[in-house]
Structure 1
Amino acid sequence: MASLQGKVISITGAASGIGLATARLAGERGARLALGDIQAEPLQKVVGELKAQGIDVIGTVLNITSNEDVDNWIAATIKHFGRLDGAANIAGVTTKEAKYPHLAEVSNEEWEFVMSINTTGMFYLLRAQLRLMLPGASIVNASSGTGLFGRPGMAPYSASKHAVIGLTKTAAKEYGPKGIRVNAIAPGPIKTPMLARVYGETKEESKPNEESKPKEDLKPMSTIPLARFGESPEVATLVAFLLSDDSSYITGTTRATVTGLLGPPRFWQPASSRKSTYGYLPAGQELEGEAGSPRLGLTPAQKLAAAEARRLSQAQKRAQGQLHRAGIEAQKQERLRKKRVA
């Protein structure tokens, strides 16, 4: 078990989902916590819950799109605790209006809303933290499986989470020589309020011990070996490890939380952009992918086109080989002719 005993950890998005699970776990493992979230009442409830367990914790209503708010929060954390040993930058959004249009239909407002929180907000957090952290500190940034693969109907979210990985890698290289580690996590489908909004669900988050298997009609999860949604505490365990000294030689990495996830899951298209309520494809139906892709099912027409492309490529290679051999033979005959003339 990765110990966080005595470490001062800041956590954004701490009022729900992965941020909440991380706050609970970090507190259990001995960390002193500075929690930030834009949701005032849920945040106050979490702070009260942790204080009742004897955990040293403070909470701040935080808007990460304001660089002033972020700078003041980090400064207040250090003033209160004396230092900042780690940060879990979890806060993020998928969309503004729970609509998932394709890229050409994305409004400026939607793009700016998502990017301002997921990318610009992350930049503000990293900048404020790195200015004041000391050697031995560790930062964990929340990207997403969508930060590794594009998603239909999620252009702003996908772009913002790709950007988180870029910021993470750059910060790791810039501040590694100073002894500060920076890593990212890329959660797959985790049972959180955010996932519920994406898939059109309305039920509450499951409890840590609650079974999280999909319904019978939602089982075609061919790219996820465990065939179930993940739980927030499972991701929190990874965050705690990356914040701890147990990961002292790990930096600049992006850690996916779905082992064996080899390609874009077929069900990861928002519910509002397709007929399936939960964002899954019907059993037996495969998502159309790029021709030749070994990870996505192809339509019959795509299979024929791919086969024809391979046949033409092979024929072209044979023709090129024949021309090459003919050229060599012509050069040989020319040399023999010159010898006979001489």
Structure 2
Amino acid sequence: MSERNLLFPFTRIVGQEEMKRALMLNIVDPGVGGVLIRGEKGTAKSTTVRSLVQILPEVPSSKGCRYHCNVSDLRNLCEECKQRLSEGGLDSEMRQMEVVELPLNATEDRVSGSLDIEHILSTGERSYEGGVLAQANGNLLYVDEVNLLDDHIVDLLLDSAAMGRNYVEREGISFSHPARFILVGTMNPEEGNLRPQLLDRFGLAVDIVGNNDPDVRMEVIRRRLAFDSDPEGYTESCAEDTEMLRRTISDARGAVKAVDISDDVIHSVARISIRFGIEGHRADLAMVRAARANAALEGRDRVETSDLEKTAGLVLRHRLKSGQFEAAVFRQEDLLRCLRGY
């Protein structure tokens, strides 16, 4: 049985539609900026993220590259691929995107990689041992319990995700490689929160809770028992749905940059940010990208107001300013009133 068949199928996860939508939007357009999933234990956070490997698309990759550089993005190649390109060209192959998981106790060297200073000084050749960020390039990087990581490690991840490159410097010697990945973090707020400065760096955020509908909870139990009794058979029973969703996401990735965004939509985004008191422009850009990705995912070539209705809350929720005595709460009805001009 393949490793993928040991994972509960993404298409059979009950409910949690916002979480699934946020993850798919980032796969369609990694520029959305990643997603932070906050919720109590036992709400399928880790199960859902790990199952994404079943629906991640294939991407063009430089054959033999240890950073699996994307040959369709020549501006962001590693030094080895740039040299091969200048010497006659790159051989490409299609590869499946992966979910790379960061260990909770990872050190800075384990994350960013390390330089062998002794080898460099004795031979004059740079020797770099890749870390998690090297593995994550072109993939999805999953950090469970992100709120329990040291702040400087979270900073390192977010900086690399924003710049698309990982920089390593030791004893005055520096090295860099592409590090373009989709960052997904999960956390239980009961175990502590991220600093506001770090929260703002995630493009989207989802707050999830367990479902209190007995029928829904029964369905969760039924599906889990069916999977546990025959993982391979259960996965095979929904293989057609899984492949259909994977193709939908792949098609949306190819079409997203051509989706039209009118000035009216951009004006609505600006008005929303002002109405909700959002500082800076990071949220505005994330809102536009998320709405465009949603339109592509739904097979449309133009962003509509409905796309903002479905995605703006994911961008705003973790950026709202709290009052002196109470936490800020996002209300969908406030968003709808803003979109309708009152």
Larger RCO of the pair (alpha carbons < 8 Å, separation 6+): 2
Question: With structure 1 as the length reference, what TM-score do the two structures score?
Answer: 0.29
Q: TM-score, normalised by structure 2?
A: 0.29
In our comparison, the structure showing a higher alpha carbon Rg is 1
Q: Which has the higher strand share?
A: 2
